[in-house]
Amino acid sequence: MHGYSTDSGERRVVPLLLASVAIALAWVSYRILAASHVSVPWWLDAPSSLAFYGALNELFDKYLWRNGLVSRLGLVRIPNLAGQWHGYLVSSFDGHEKRHHLVITIFQSWTHIVVFLTTATSMSRSCAAVIQVDDPEGVALTYQYQNQPLADAMKTMHMHCGTAMLRVSNGGCLVGDYYAGRDRRTFGRICCRRQLRNPQTDAESVSTASGAKGDASRLRITDILDWTVGLATTARMRAQGEGLI
């Protein structure tokens, strides 16, 4: 996954709160060790405020930020968009005459996100994103993507980049516009609704960085791509393949 920016100020406040909790936990641990007359080796810095902070930060980034209580307390305003979104797009490629089925799969943590969009003939992956929460028109997800046509797509389709600008409607839908860059030069509208079942939102499950997280992460990525290709093949059979985004 890649990082994403936001206009919410929570990322300035939450780290300070986590640091305060970490210091408190370190002090409690010190008192417990002192009362138990337990000594630790000189090379082990325990209890360590930094260790507690690292653990709390990782826990918050992956899990706690999605907790309803955290949201009700106002600590987190970033929406949890993780899940599968099914819907359609209309494209200028065919004059906006036909609805083309698509599936958007979003993996998200508090600081990282990745957006996969699959159609009958291609699949795209986000490379940069921003989530706006203070926009008067509502929560917005804007991301830049790289699109890869499937092996048997039309010869006129090539790898290209583009941008999608989606808003979360009151009905729980993602609705917005996209436009493709050089070569394709197409644009259109996307509308989709989240399904009940959400995919795993563990950051490591979709990490495609430099491979620093090891072969296990790369295997997970392969599984995701295999699933995506299978889904696209099924959709292609239904839609009889046309050039899309």
Q: Are residues 109 and 191 in the same domain?
A: yes
- Decide if 78 is inside a domain: no
Q: How far is CA 109 from the centre of its chain?
A: 7
Identify which of 31-35, 197-201, 204-208 has the greatest average pLDDT: 31-35
- Decide if 50 is inside a domain: yes
| pLDDT, tens digit, 9 for 90 and up, residues 141-159 | 999 999 888 767 666 667 7
Question: What span, in angstroms and rounded, lies between the C-alpha atoms of 41 and 44?
Answer: 5
Q: Are residues 43 and 145 in the same domain?
A: no
Q: What is the mean pLDDT of residues 191-201?
A: 71
Candidates 91, 94, 164; CA nearest to 124 is: 164
**Tokens standing for residue 127:** 């490379």
Question: What span, in angstroms and rounded, lies between the C-alpha atoms of 143 and 115?
Answer: 8
Question: What span, in angstroms and rounded, lies between the C-alpha atoms of 201 and 11?
Answer: 19
Q: Are residues 40 and 147 in the same domain?
A: no
Q: What is the mean pLDDT of residues 46-57?
A: 89
* Model confidence at 177: pLDDT above 80: yes
Q: Are residues 118 and 230 in the same domain?
A: yes
**Tokens standing for residue 229:** 């290709």
Contact 1, 112 (CB under 8 A): yes
Higher pLDDT, 79 or 223: 79
Q: Are residues 68 and 39 in the same domain?
A: yes
* Model confidence at 209: pLDDT above 50: no
The per-residue pLDDT for 22 is: 95
The residue range of the domain holding 21 is 2-72
Q: Are residues 40 and 134 in the same domain?
A: no
Question: What span, in angstroms and rounded, lies between the C-alpha atoms of 149 and 159?
Answer: 6
- Decide if 77 is inside a domain: no
Query: Global pTM?
Result: 0.74
- Decide if 95 is inside a domain: yes
Q: Are residues 186 and 234 in the same domain?
A: yes
Q: Are residues 61 and 172 in the same domain?
A: no
Q: What is the mean pLDDT of residues 80-99?
A: 87
Give the helix/strand (H/E) hosting 123: strand 122-132
Candidates 222, 16, 213, 226; CA nearest to 112 is: 213
The per-residue pLDDT for 55 is: 94
Q: Are residues 55 and 120 in the same domain?
A: no
Q: Are residues 92 and 118 in the same domain?
A: yes
State how many domains the chain has: 2
Contact 190, 142 (CB under 8 A): no
